Amino acid sequence: MEFNIALLRGDGIGPEIVDSAVAVLEKTAARFGHTFNFIPYLIGGSAIDKTGMPLPQETIDGCLASDSVLLGAVGGPKWDDLPGEKRPEKALLGIRSALGLFTNLRPAKLYPALRGASPLREDIVGDGFDLMIVRELTGGIYFGDRGYRQGKYGEEAYDTEAYSVTEIERIGRVAFETAMKRSRRHTSIDKANVLESSRLWRKTIHSLAEEYPGVEYNDMFVDNAAMQLVRNPQQFDVIVTSNMFGDILSDEASQITGSIGMLASASLGASTRGMYEPIHGSAPDIAGQNKANPIATILSAAMMLRYSFGLSEEADCIENAVDKVLEAGYRTADLLGGAEGTPLTCTEMTEKVLEAL
């Protein structure tokens, strides 16, 4: 099979980790008889430097013409003084909207080999955990009306949270379908005791739950969910929540796995085309030093094979290779966490995964 993949290397460590994932994809393609065509486009700070804008139209058109998109990371202190509409991070909201990517799938898995790297006690993590956060991606407060106005105490800023039944239903259905393919446990996170938008969210998800009688379903307030993630993460399997709550909770979930450098994500819409990226940032402090952990991006590439291309066996192959490398004790600096040992470089870790393939 042949697929066209748009590469958005971005800023900071983005080029390094994307190139690592490309190497793994190329070896996987050779092993299984596929052809992956990689077409690079500009995004974020690198796009600003060359075109004056974080998301050029050429990038949007190229991504729309591709079978899927692989993204590194955007942003850095070089562009911190730019106004909000001109910042590199604005490109992320723009490309998600342009591609119609309303769902973000973010797995948070604690590998048995990395139990010692989790900040949680061993009696809490047990044999590890494996949960999936399904985050609504193109609605809510990040896309609502915003601005400045004169308020009770003078000038004030405002951001608006709004959700329609349609937006809630479509993300809720993704979550229930995901739960059906896993352990059939589903938790919806909201703040229905305070927010009107959350009350509509809960009402809509309750109605949708009637279509999935085989799924064990419950609600949870977001503040309790934040506490429960560190108290007993094993109680969760599939979590569905709004854009802002998902942004916060998924980052919390990433930390209890031991390293943010391990976690992949998939952004999906109504078509098979998706955008795949590690959840960590551009890490400008180590950019160009060959220190980055490429595993999250490699696992993001595996998710692309699984969710966009329907190549589950190939995705399993990559994920199993990562498992073997970790079980063998190989670690990048972020996975050592101050423990004794010599960390592998980004290149060396990539080579270990390639060997395991």
Mean pLDDT of the 310-328 span: 96
**309, part of any domain:** yes
Q: Is the dihedral of CA 181, 186, 191, 196 positive or negative?
A: positive
Q: Quick one: DSSP state of residue 77?
A: G
**49, part of any domain:** yes
Any idea which residues carry the catalytic annotation?
A: 142, 191, 223, 247, 251
Residue 232 is encoded by which pair of tokens?
A: 């007993």
How far is residue 83's CA from residue 347's CA, in Å, rounded to a whole number?
36
Q: Is the pLDDT of residue 101 over 90?
A: yes
- Tell me, what's the pLDDT at 283? 93
Same domain, 73 and 139: no
Print the domain residue range for 236.
119-256
Distances 57 to 46, 95, 136 between C-alpha atoms, Å: 14, 10, 25
Report the mean per-residue pLDDT for the chain: 94
**21, part of any domain:** yes
**205, part of any domain:** yes
Q: What is the DSSP string of 99-132?
A: HT--EEEEEEE--GGGGGGSSS-HHHHTT--EEE
Q: What is the number of structural domains in the chain?
A: 2
The residue ranking higher by pLDDT, 157 or 116, is 157
Mean pLDDT of the 162-172 span: 97
**114, part of any domain:** no
pLDDT band of residue 117 (cuts 50, 70, 90) is: confident
Q: Is the pLDDT of residue 339 over 80?
A: no
Pairing assessment for the beta strands 264-268 and 274-278 based on DSSP bridges: antiparallel
Per-residue pLDDT tens for 261-290? 888 999 999 999 999 999 888 999 999 999
> Looking at 235, 256, 277, which one is the last position of a domain?
256
- Tell me, what's the pLDDT at 85? 82
Residue with tokens 């569905």: 240
Q: Is the dihedral of CA 325, 327, 329, 335 positive or negative?
A: positive
Phi, psi of 10, deg, nearest 5: 75, -135
Instruction: List the CATH number of the domain containing 233.
Output: 3.40.718.10
Same domain, 228 and 288: no
pLDDT band of residue 202 (cuts 50, 70, 90) is: very high
Same domain, 305 and 237: no
Q: Is the pLDDT of residue 217 over 80?
A: yes
Same domain, 98 and 162: no
Same domain, 248 and 162: yes
Same domain, 40 and 96: yes
Q: Is the pLDDT of residue 27 over 70?
A: yes
How far is residue 39's CA from residue 142's CA, in Å, rounded to a whole number?
30
**245, part of any domain:** yes
**Of 176, 180, 173, 187, which is closest to residue 234 (Cα–Cα)?**
187
Same domain, 178 and 243: yes
Q: How many residues does the chain have?
A: 357
Q: Quick one: DSSP state of residue 60?
A: H
Same domain, 316 and 338: yes
- Dihedral through CA 246, CA 248, CA 251, CA 257, nearest 10? -80
Same domain, 252 and 126: yes
Same domain, 209 and 268: no
**87, part of any domain:** yes
- Tell me, what's the pLDDT at 118? 87
Q: Is the pLDDT of residue 197 over 90?
A: yes
Give yes or no for a contact between 344 and 331, defined as CB atoms under 8 angstroms apart: yes
**291, part of any domain:** yes
> Looking at 241, 256, 271, which one is the last position of a domain?
256
Q: Is the pLDDT of residue 341 over 80?
A: no
Contacts of 154 (CB under 8 A, 6+ apart): none
pLDDT band of residue 55 (cuts 50, 70, 90) is: very high
Per-residue pLDDT tens for 247-263? 999 989 988 987 788 88
The fraction of the chain above a pLDDT of 90, given in percent, is: 85
How far is residue 326's CA from residue 115's CA, in Å, rounded to a whole number?
11
**Of 153, 111, 107, which is closest to residue 128 (Cα–Cα)?**
111
- What is the pTM assigned to this prediction? 0.89
Q: Is the pLDDT of residue 342 over 90?
A: no
- Tell me, what's the pLDDT at 335? 86
> Looking at 211, 237, 256, which one is the last position of a domain?
256
Q: Is the dihedral of CA 292, 296, 297, 299 positive or negative?
A: positive
Same domain, 329 and 344: yes
Q: Is the dihedral of CA 43, 49, 50, 55 positive or negative?
A: positive
Q: Is the pLDDT of residue 340 over 80?
A: no
- Tell me, what's the pLDDT at 338? 62
Mean pLDDT of the 309-337 span: 93
Q: Is the pLDDT of residue 305 over 90?
A: yes
Same domain, 252 and 267: no
Per-residue pLDDT tens for 79-92? 988 887 889 999 99
